[in-house]
């Protein structure tokens, strides 16, 4: 049986490099081409010695592949993807360019007019836990953002069951790799080390994505979401804490909430409901999302904590998971590695 030929656009970023790491040992895949504007003509091993197993030269474009992962920044990703779609290649886009259904949101949140608004409705939002049935037939899958993945998975069971009100607070803390590999002052070691920083309090670009997907889950209300992200001095990982008032007259028991979550995710290979609050290191290098739901009986609030690796379940690992579903491979193929510890 011939292997699936895949390409990676922008392998020189963190998500692109993580894709290569995960795909290197995938038994059903051959990486046929990788691009990176800053390293065209170089051997991949020269740019990333940890990927020396892959004998690849970085090129400027992808001539032929069955499927292409795009790890370009927003706007540039759509521009790179459109010609490949026209040539019949299937796409998993790790950028934000096809996640939102309303093209006006791209002008509002990403400061560009979408070049292919007609594709926004066609693109499948690639969160397998919610959209698995739509992914196999898709030619364009929009890989979710790292913050939205943790927040949506944390809240989905409670919202779908109608247990919480519309006022939701999401507090997320991310490792520095979430900012990407491009040099910037806030991510310099002396700025980020021994420091915690809140940012985008006026509205983060992942907010409309979170609201869009929570709205799709809601039975009879429009979510009002306050989302505050933070950068903490670690390389990778996201810990998200969600708060929402319970709508029930009598508070359910914590055990009932836990059972609801276990039932909702019982068939999901990469979601684990934990018996104690999870920690980011418990997900490092893995495609797992760990979730811990509980109740603050004093205030009548549901509190849900989720943890994931922003470069794996929050980006490259979820992209590989989507590819596996698209081609009918066992969903966990290439993603079986347990988390690194310590």
Catalytic residues, which ones? Answer: 146
Supply 259's token pair. Answer: 């059972």
Contact at 8 Å (CB) between 58 and 49? no
Tell me how far apart the alpha carbons of residues 112 and 94 are, in angstroms, rounded to a whole number. Answer: 18
Give 139's Cβ-side CA count (13 Å radius). 12
Helix (H) or strand (E) holding 191: helix 189-192
- Which of 44, 27, 28 is closest to 36 using CA atoms? 44
Cα dihedral 195→15→289→145 (10° resolution): 80
| Contact between 17 and 52 (Cβ < 8 Å) | no
Among 320, 289, 281, which Cα is nearest to 21's? 320
Assign residue 98 a region (left: φ > 0; alpha: ψ between -120 and 50; beta: otherwise): alpha
Cα–Cα distance for residue pair 156/306, rounded to 1 Å: 12
Of residues 146, 105, 149, the one with CA closest to residue 131: 149
Residue with tokens 């590999």: 181
- The owner of tokens 């700025």 is 191
Torsion sign (Cα): 96, 97, 101, 105: positive
What's the gap between Cα 267 and its chain centre?
20
For the stretch 107-116, contacts whose Cβ atoms lie closer than 8 Å and that sit 24 or more positions apart, written own/partner, are 108/208, 109/203, 109/205, 109/207, 109/208, 110/74, 110/75, 110/205, 112/74, 112/75, 114/78, 115/78, 115/79, 115/82, 116/78, 116/82
């Amino acid at each position: 049986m011939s292997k699936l030929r895949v390409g990676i656009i922008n392998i020189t970023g963190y998500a692109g490099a993580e894709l290569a790491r995960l795909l290197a040992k995938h038994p059903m895949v051959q990486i046929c081409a990788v691009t990176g504007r800053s390293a065209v003509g170089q051997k991949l091993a020269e740019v990333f010695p940890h990927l020396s197993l892959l004998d690849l030269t970085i090129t400027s474009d992808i001539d032929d592949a069955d499927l292409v992962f795009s790890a370009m920044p927003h706007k540039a990703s759509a521009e790179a993807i459109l010609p490949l779609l026209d040539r019949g290649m299937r796409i998993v886009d790790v950028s934000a360019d096809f996640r939102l259904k309303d093209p006006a949101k791209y002008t509002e949140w990403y400061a560009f007019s979408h070049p292919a608004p007609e594709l926004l409705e066609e693109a499948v939002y690639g969160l397998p836990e919610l959209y698995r049935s739509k992914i196999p037939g898709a030619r364009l899958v929009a890989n979710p953002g790292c913050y939205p993945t943790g927040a949506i998975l944390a809240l989905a069971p409670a919202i779908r069951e109608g247990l919480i009100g519309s006022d939701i607070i999401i507090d997320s803390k991310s490792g520095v790799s979430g900012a990407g590999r491009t040099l910037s002052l806030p991510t310099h070691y002396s700025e980020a080390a021994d420091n915690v920083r809140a940012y985008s309090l006026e509205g983060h670009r992942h907010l409309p994505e979170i609201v869009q997907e929570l709205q799709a889950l809601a039975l009879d209300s429009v979510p009002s979401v306050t989302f505050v992200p933070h950068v903490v001095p670690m390389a990778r990982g996201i810990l998200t804490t969600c708060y929402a008032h319970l709508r029930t007259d009598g508070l359910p028991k914590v055990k009932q909430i836990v059972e609801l979550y276990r039932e909702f995710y019982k068939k999901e290979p990469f979601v684990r409901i934990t018996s104690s609050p999870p920690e980011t290191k418990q997900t490092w290098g893995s495609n797992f999302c760990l979730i811990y739901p509980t109740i603050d009986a004093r205030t009548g609030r549901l509190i849900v904590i989720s943890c994931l690796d922003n470069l794996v379940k929050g980006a490259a690992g979820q992209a590989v998971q989507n590819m596996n579903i698209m081609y009918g491979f066992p969903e966990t193929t290439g993603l079986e590695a347990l988390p690194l510890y310590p």
